[in-house]
Structure 1
Amino acid sequence: MRCPVVLVLTALLICTGCARTGYWIDRQRDAADVVSASVGVGLGARAQVGPVVFAPFVAAMDVAGVRGGELFQLEEMGFRDKVVPTDFGALWWCSTVFFVEREPRLLHRGKAVFALPPLVRDDRQFNIFSETIPFVSVPRRDLVSEGLSLPRYPLSYWGNIELVAGLGGTLRLGLNPMEFVDFMGGWFRFDLLRDDCGVD
């Protein structure tokens, strides 16, 4: 008898008076931040654990999926966009860009990423022979070559665990333990990654 009562009380607690308030919207987004899953076009493979990236060879562009807590889909395969979500790398070097022009919340919540090898000027981001620290890519606030600047530093990048692979079509799957801690803390109004915004 106790189990049905607990289930009913839990359902009431979750649903009563909570529809679309900022608190519940933020909990939904925090939950979506924990995973990444997207499809795209390209070829190669890339594995990431935090800032450490191993990409024997990868040239991939995400077309649709869930990243940064947002569902996204590029219109016309991104041909009209100045910058599209891409991964390029070979041997010890890899750059990652995650920026979708029609998703301003990615910028507002600090989920957009320009990650390049350290010590590399962004106008040389596709040069695998640049002098840099091998197997490391770190986020930056600016992508000078494209005239873009992020309003927030993407802290959650440091917790990414992702795998991208494909031949023609690509698949990205990932988890982010930092985002999971942020999600759990959010229930108690502890916003570790400062990504709660409470708006649609």
Structure 2
Amino acid sequence: MARASMTDQAQVNELLLQALETERGGIQVYTAAIEAAQNEDLKEEWRKYLDETRRHEQILLDVFEQLGKDPEAASPGREVVAHHGRSLVKAIEMAMANADAAAAELVAAECVVLAETKDHQNWELIGRVAEKAGKQEGKILKAAHDEVEKEEDHHLYHTRGWARELWIQSLGLPAVLPPPEEERNVETAIGAARAEQSRDKMM
């Protein structure tokens, strides 16, 4: 017997549109952040994330095609997400123009964290939808979610660690760079918390 959908299809479509727009904004945010990065390890990390974000965009475009949805459809929520992305890019550009290099790098890290927080939530919600959707839709969404989830965890928790340590360094306090999240290859919220707790032992 086919599994019946238990989701609000209009809102699922809204989620997917916002997710696609988030990935597109993320490409622009990472492009700007790489320009602001001073630490070579961080710059290399963000180059990797940029490549992965481009792939995530394509994965979502494939989802739209498989579900017969229009990836360019407009929605109020999508417009807000696009605005957020442009604002984050503008913030990085302002910092690069008006602050010293270290401060601009820190702003870039915080902007990436903000972008990835939304991105991470999108994929978490897509995973939940996949569990409750009809059989075909659920299969398509689960395949996409399984391919992206670990990379999104990595993007968020690792950059959050970088932002924290760059702030600590800016305060004149001993920082752990690359951050513990990087050294421990963190991929979960629990792992991130444990990595942060271990930072004093790594100095």
Q: Do they superpose with TM above 0.5?
A: no
TM-score when normalising by structure 2: 0.26
Q: TM-score, normalised by structure 1?
A: 0.26
Q: Quick check: which one's strand share is greater?
A: 1
